[in-house]
Amino acid sequence: MNTTDSIFQRALGTILAEVFEGSPHTGYVLNPGDSGMLKQLDGIDAKAASTRSIPGQTTVAAHVDHVHFGLSILNRWAAGEENPFATADWNGSWKRGEVNDEQWATLRSNLRSEWQKWQAAVAARTDWDDIAAAGSLSSAAHTAYHLGAIRQILAAMNLHHG
């Protein structure tokens, strides 16, 4: 791995960890001290995850299922599958709107597992080309977008219920 690849790999790993696990000190994407996606989700119960704070719009559970699906596709790609994106059912990844307690716990556990696989895949990669770099960077941006959307749903619930 050349020096540029090594710097890119460390920076990407740092940004992904910040989005998923929080930013205790620095804040490249999130504010310093932000808990990140996984802790945010751990503080939400199944009822809140299933609530449509705006009629006709999606739920936190749907966002989480979508992010989980995206990571699973990335992990298949990182494991050597040639093009798992070609047959990915992105619309299907939005169909889970409601979850019970057990489903919510499983969904969060599955998201955490896919994140850990993706984190390991990024750390293990030794060769970065344009597609790998852009695709990997997009995973951080895409997840940060969904974290923001989840927080907007939660904010709307707080305004609606309080």
For Cα atoms 62, 41, 147, give the angle at the middle one, nearest 5 degrees: 65
Half-sphere exposure (Cβ direction) of 67: Cα atoms closer than 13 Å: 34
Q: Which two tokens stand for residue 49?
A: 């995850």
- What is the distance, to the nearest Å, from the Cα of residue 127 to the centroid of all Cα atoms in its chain? 23
Please give the single-letter amino acid code of residue 133.
A
For Cα atoms 104, 52, 50, give the angle at the middle one, nearest 5 degrees: 15
| pLDDT of 159 | 41
Q: Which domains does the chain have, with CATH numbers?
A: 3-161 (1.20.120)
Which of 140, 146, 147 shows the shortest CA–CA distance to 9?
140
Reading the chain (162 residues) residue by residue, the pLDDT tens digits are: 677 778 889 999 999 999 999 987 778 899 998 999 999 999 999 999 999 987 778 999 999 999 999 999 999 999 999 999 999 999 998 988 899 999 999 999 999 999 999 999 999 998 889 999 999 999 999 999 999 999 999 998 884 333
Residues whose CB falls within 8 Å of the CB of residue 99, separated by 6 or more in sequence, listed in order: 46, 49, 50, 61, 107
- Give pTM, 2 decimals: 0.92
Which of 87, 86, 66, 84 shows the shortest CA–CA distance to 75?
84
